[in-house]
Amino acid sequence: MIEGSSGKLEIAVNEPSAASVGCALIAHPHPLYGGTFDNKVVQTLAKAFCALGLTAVRFNFRGVGNSDGVYDGGAGEIEDFETVLSYAEKRFQPSHLIFAGFSFGTYVVARAAQDKSPHQVVLIAPAVGKFEVEPVPEDSLVLHGEEDDVVLLSDVLNWARPQHIPVTVFPGAGHFFHGDLIRLQNVVINHCRQKLSS
């Protein structure tokens, strides 16, 4: 537990077996629709980052799990992310920093990346059309399911096209990537490894 602007925030830290080469902060799906840091996609991201030698930091937004407070429509959740970022920077002093989010978490991550400059941004099923997802760097990794019925693929492509951001589409996959989590993990590992080694 760490102190946030609305009380305590619950965090989970996954550390690699060897010395950490950086840190990845992961934001979970919508708090009002069952999103928590235990979400399978969020856990898959944590595993991917640990496999790369990064410390993975997940947290529950205000009002979720053991975190104090109530849902704040996005503004407070961005504050939560920034609080966890400050904690991670002080504790781990990462030389390489990744922001990652799933669904609602992508809105928070994209907004936070406007003020901070992470080395990499990873967006899974970006919640465009639901929230005002800010532009992200061209080298960001964006993954989306072809059959996503929560956020339409066409909306994501329309958001990505003016930014010249490639979107990796998982054929037949839905919003939660059921049956595709191992493949998702491998795509994240392969993409992020390239930047880590460059």
Number of Cβ within a 10 Å radius of residue 87: 19
Q: How far apart are the C-alpha atoms of 27 and 105, rounded to whole Å? A: 5
pLDDT at 125: 98
What residues contact residue 31 under an 8 Å CB cut-off, 6+ apart? 61, 62, 63, 64, 71, 77, 104
Instruction: Report CA dihedral (159, 162, 165, 170) to the nearest 10 degrees.
Output: 40
When computed from its CA atoms, the radius of gyration of the chain, rounded to whole angstroms, is 15
Give the per-residue pLDDT at 111. 97
Look up the pTM and report it.
0.97
| Stretches in the chain below the pLDDT threshold 70 | none
- Give first-to-last CA distance, the chain, whole Å: 35
Q: What is the pLDDT of residues 82-131, one digit of tens each?
A: 999 999 999 999 999 999 999 999 999 999 999 899 999 999 999 999 99
Which pLDDT belongs to residue 17?
Answer: 87
pLDDT at 124: 98
- The topology under which CATH files domain 2-197 is Rossmann fold (3.40.50)
Tokens representing residue 126 in the block: 């970006």
Rounded to 5°, angle at Cα 79 from 65 and 60: 15
Confidence at residue 177, expressed as pLDDT on a 0 to 100 scale: 98
Answer whether 150's CB lies under 8 Å from 125's CB: yes
Q: What is the pLDDT of residue 184?
A: 98
Cβ atoms of 12 and 25 closer than 8 Å:
no
**Residue 130 tokens, joined:** 């639901």
- Report the Cα 86 to chain-centroid distance in Å: 16
Domain map (residue ranges) of the chain:
2-197
